Chain A
Amino acid sequence: QKEVEQNSGPLSVPEGAIASLNCTYSDRVSQSFFWYRQYSGKSPELIMSIYSNGDKEDGRFTAQLNKASQYVSLLIRDSQPSDSATYLCAVLPLSGSARQLTFGSGTQLTVLP
């Protein structure tokens, strides 16, 4: 079982809709959670980081973390065609010798005009 799981998609939503991207992780003591956006042929860029249970909002983006369910999600409100990209979930464990950021395989999002 992969440590960080994402629906590979592709996920298609119409312009103006809410896009919901989901991520589950296996390490119960994970501490930090990140969402990156990656356009085709480009490098990943950070959208959001979240460390505590609950919601964190930044503009049209909301990250939601539920550590009890080992689940983190990203909501994109009022989706735009420019949001079309692959979204990567990344998880950092709390401690241990292999304290490395682990990425999911990514969810490809297409926002249809």
Chain B
Amino acid sequence: DAGITQSPRHKVTETGTPVTLRCHQTENHRYMYWYRQDPGHGLRLIHYSYGVKDTDKGEVSDGYSVSRSKTEDFLLTLESATSSQTSVYFCAISETQQETQYFGPGTRLLVL
């Protein structure tokens, strides 16, 4: 998985609770991304980062925030989880915006 880990790999939580997912890379790539994958929708970009403390919104950013305080770590936070955020979340990295994105193993999140 190109030196990318995600934690936790599985999580069950309740509606209204905050949740933080972590992506860690050992490749020193500049770009990091958070996607969610749902049946019938494919992969949709939530947020991405183009450097430490530099982030931007993606297609489905509402209800999510991100932070990147170190090159190797990119955190995704659901401030108050809702059932519609039940999904599989993938982190990806790339050296530049034009280059191939490599994906982490994913986190399965269930919001009850």
CB within 8 Å of B: which residues of A?
A: 31-32, 34, 42-46, 49, 88, 90, 92, 99-101, 103-106
Contact = CB atoms under 8 A, between A and B. Distances in A.
Contacts of A44: 43, 90, 103
A83 to B, nearest CB: 19
Given A34-B101, A100-B45, A105-B42, 12 more contacts: A32-B98, A34-B100, A43-B105, A44-B90, A92-B97, A99-B97, A100-B58, A100-B59, A101-B45, A103-B42, A103-B43, A103-B44
A106 B42 contact: yes
B interface secondary structure, majority? loop
B48 interface: yes
A100 B42 contact: no
Contacts of A99: 97
Interface of B: 1, 33, 40-45, 48, 58-59, 90, 97-98, 100-106
B43 A46 contact: no
Most A Cβ at <10 Å: residue of B48, B98, B102: B98
A43 B103 contact: yes
A44 B44 CA distance: 13
A46 to B, nearest CB: 5
Nearest to A34: B100
Contacts of B106: 42-43
Nearest to B101: A101
